[in-house]
Amino acid sequence: MTVQNCVPIVGMEENNMIKNIIFDIGNVLAGFAWKEYFAGFGYEDAVLERLAKATTLSAQWAEFDRAVLSDEEVFQLFITNDPEMEPYIRETLTHVPGLVSTFDYAIPWVQELKANGYNVYYLSNFPRTARTDCDDALGFVQYMDGGIFSFDVNLIKPDAAIYHALLERYQLNPDECVFFDDVEKNVKAACEVGIHGVLFENKKQAMEELGRLNKEK
């Protein structure tokens, strides 16, 4: 993704409502490009369709993010979905470099928000394997104040417990937080625990929503 035209950053004045920015990662700060990733193995279209249905499009993918089960136990769930896909599942998911790709605007955006006084956190459903194998795509994390990956706490969005875990870990007032996520049910869950939730479309729209929230105070 190319860098979007910069939107003037909303500086954090003392009377601003929002002090803490919480980001989802996939499709907000980085691409979760599973279709392109699978296609890179050169499989036929029929195989790609079955592979996706057995893994990323299945209900069991959530267990990859939750990380209560071992990777092998999750693989067995995927294999149960389509036993003939076992060799493809193992080839594509044992290691996943390239599954996640950073967006060009991610680091500059985090740095700009920090420079303007905001605390910046992440809250993301994320498999442990992807965190390890796609570390180069997550360079923005080092500029943030902290956050939670789902595999670290064995919880996933939209479970309210993962939002509470973030708030409690960093002693955050939910009314001073805004959460950007591209999945509506995750945004709704944030709102239900008192966080201002915004369904993410793009950086420009997100900054406009941040400005609107600060003007409401």
pLDDT in tens, 33-71: 899 999 999 999 999 999 999 999 999 999 999 999 999
Peptide bond before residue 97 is cis, with ω within 30 degrees of 0: no
Tell whether 26 and 128 lie within a shared domain: yes
Beta-ladder partners of 102? 30
Q: Same structural domain for residues 79 and 150?
A: no
Domain boundary (93, 118, 133) is at 93
CA angle 165, 137, 32 (to 5 degrees): 75
In total, the chain counts a number of residues equal to 217
Mind listing the pLDDT tens digit for each residue in 64-79?
A: 999 999 999 999 999 9
Any idea what the CATH number is for the domain that residue 148 is in?
A: 3.40.50.1000
Band of the pLDDT at 216, cuts 50, 70, 90? confident
- Per the structure, the count of domains in the chain is 2
Of residues 118 and 7, which shows the higher confidence score? 118
Q: Are residues 132 and 85 in the same domain?
A: no
12 within some domain: no
The amino acid at residue 211 is: G
* Domain assignment present for 153: yes
Region 14-30 average pLDDT:
91
Task: Look up the domain containing 48 and give its range.
Answer: 34-93
Q: Residue 43 in contact with residue 88, Cβ under 8 Å?
A: yes
205 assigned to some structural domain: yes
Whether residue 43 sits in one domain with residue 107: no
Q: Which amino acid is at 77?
A: L
Predicted confidence at residue 67, as pLDDT, reads 96
50 lies in some domain? yes
11 falls within a domain: no
Q: 193 and 133 share a domain?
A: yes
Quote the pTM value.
0.90
Q: What is the mean pLDDT of residues 177-205?
A: 97
